[in-house]
Amino acid sequence: MALTFHVARETVLNKVTASQLTPEEIALDAAAGRVLAEDVAADRDSPALSRSVRDGYAVRAGDLPGELTVIGEVRAGQRFEGELAAGQAIEIMTGAPIPQGADAVVMVEHTRRVNGRVRIESSAEPRQFINPKGCEAAANETVLKPGKRIDYADVAMLAAFGRTHVSVYRKPEVAIVATGDEIVEVSETPAAFQIRNSNAYSLAAQVARAGGIPRILPVARDTVEHTREIVLRGLTSDLLLLSGGVSAGKYDVVEQVLSEIGAEFFFDRVLIQPGQPVVFGKTVGANGKFFFGLPGNPSATMVTFEILARAAVELLGGQSESPLPMPFARLTRDFRHRPGLTRFLPAQLSADGTEVTPVEWHGSGDVPALTRANAYLVADHFRAEYPRGEFIRVLLK
């Protein structure tokens, strides 16, 4: 059945569930990029004491404006012993604890220091430039939840809470199978009618970027018997990606093999270019595995992975959601296409992300065009023309 792009993607998001997510504990320095498998709570109030967010003077707001006696200083990593009284000020540095008795901080730029006293001409609001105790996180408050891919800010938070180790989900193993008698290994010199197995390696790079462990299997030749053998090997992984063999040709046997082993197909065609004959389904049984049959042309393989199969890798790896941001950018020249398909075409997005220029492209096998692109221009299926200056969606590579 043929689906629109949006319906096909929703189908993947709705169907893919991880039957068994296995957690493992890893060291903090290996946590970036992994998917969290536990609640993470603050081990104490953050900040543990009220602290200054500016360099300046800790004061009593009711004393201002006025001239105050400076009785000391406090910097980050120290604590002022004693209490601030009326008519007094304490020089304070960013991050330092607020001395007892002070209820505001005045920036040093707004003060004038003369002979051990500080003159402040303006008034101050209570709690001005103070982060109160626990305002960032209270002790035992959950700040990170399972399903989040850990980024560098999360690593900083884990370290701040004293976590030397963290529980994450096991990375899903993804089997990658290129199909076709025309394919030879990368190390071989192909005849004019042959091609090197580039798709398996581009898919492996995409799988790794999505958080999976790629497992490249031997090329499946264009016979039912050999394709079945390789497919069954691939189905021992968490997800199977097949490249090629899903069109309507005489020797395109992937769907036949999958049908014979009892697969359920959720779709076998999506109204996109490149990549119309993309297949998505699941084998039957309690331990059924999801699979994608991706078209064999290189750009079709790459695009269909990014917009459809990537979500499956992320969800099987424990992510709670799999976003596909497609921001708008302004076209630098007129663009037109035949409506009916959502098209993902190579483009060059400006450094500031505001303008996009289509890259000359000679079809789904034009890998050099993809290397010149840093994004895909996304043309809607219902619209034929986009004039220069019009906004159009883009998908980053």
CATH of the domain at 292: 3.40.980.10
Nearest-CA neighbor of 107 among 116, 97, 120, 96? 120
Instruction: Tell me the C-alpha distance between 304 and 376, whole Å.
Output: 12
The alpha carbons of the chain give a radius of gyration, in whole angstroms, of: 30
What is the residue-level pLDDT of the chain in tens, covering all 397 positions? Answer: 689 999 999 999 999 987 778 999 999 999 999 999 999 999 999 999 999 999 999 999 999 999 999 999 999 999 999 999 999 999 999 999 999 999 999 999 999 999 989 999 999 999 999 999 999 999 999 999 999 999 999 999 999 999 999 999 999 999 999 998 888 888 888 898 888 888 999 999 999 999 999 999 999 998 999 999 999 999 999 999 999 866 655 447 888 899 999 999 999 999 999 999 999 999 987 689 999 999 989 999 999 999 999 999 999 999 999 999 999 999 999 999 999 999 999 999 999 999 999 999 888 778 888 999 999 999 999 999 999 999 999 999 9
236 with 162, same domain? no
Distances 51 to 5, 32, 110, 129 between C-alpha atoms, Å: 51, 29, 19, 9
Determine the pLDDT at residue 251.
Answer: 45
Does residue 266 belong to any structural domain of this protein? yes
Given the DSSP bridges, would you call strands 51-52 and 130-131 parallel, antiparallel or unpaired?
Answer: antiparallel
Output the pLDDT for position 247: 61
| Ramachandran angles phi, psi of 99, nearest 5° | -65, 150
Number of domains in the chain: 4
Residues 286 and 213 placed together within one structural domain of the fold? yes
Indicate if 261 and 290 belong to the same structural domain: yes
- If asked whether residues 175 and 298 sit together in one domain, one would say yes
Of 268, 296, 316, which closes a domain? Answer: 316
**Residue 214 shares a structural domain with residue 246:** yes
Q: Give the number of other Cβ atoms within 10 Å of residue 297's Cβ.
A: 20
Query: Which parts of 177-309 fold into alpha helices (H)?
Result: 198-209, 224-234, 254-260, 298-304
Q: What is the domain range of residue 151?
A: 27-44+137-169
**Within a domain: residue 322?**
no
Residue 78 within any structural domain of the chain: yes
> Do 334 and 217 share a structural domain?
no
The answer to the question of residue 197 being in a domain is yes
* pLDDT on residue 246: 67
Buried/exposed code over 66-102 (b: 16+ C-beta within 10 A; e: otherwise): bebebbeebeeeeebeeebeeebbbbbbeebbbbebb
* CA atoms within a 13 Å half-sphere pointing along the CA-CB vector of 379: 24
Domain membership flag for residue 321: no
Q: 127, 60, 61: which is closest to 71 by C-alpha?
A: 60
> Do 236 and 294 belong to one domain?
yes
Query: What is the residue type of 177?
Result: V
Which residue carries 């002022």 as its tokens? 80
Residues 299 and 184 in one domain: yes
**What pTM was computed for the model?**
0.89
How far is residue 27 CA from its own chain's centroid? 21
End-of-domain residue from the set 270, 295, 316: 316
208 and 286, same domain (yes or no): yes
Look at residue 218 and tell me if it is in a domain.
yes
Give the strand pairing for 328-331 and 355-358.
parallel
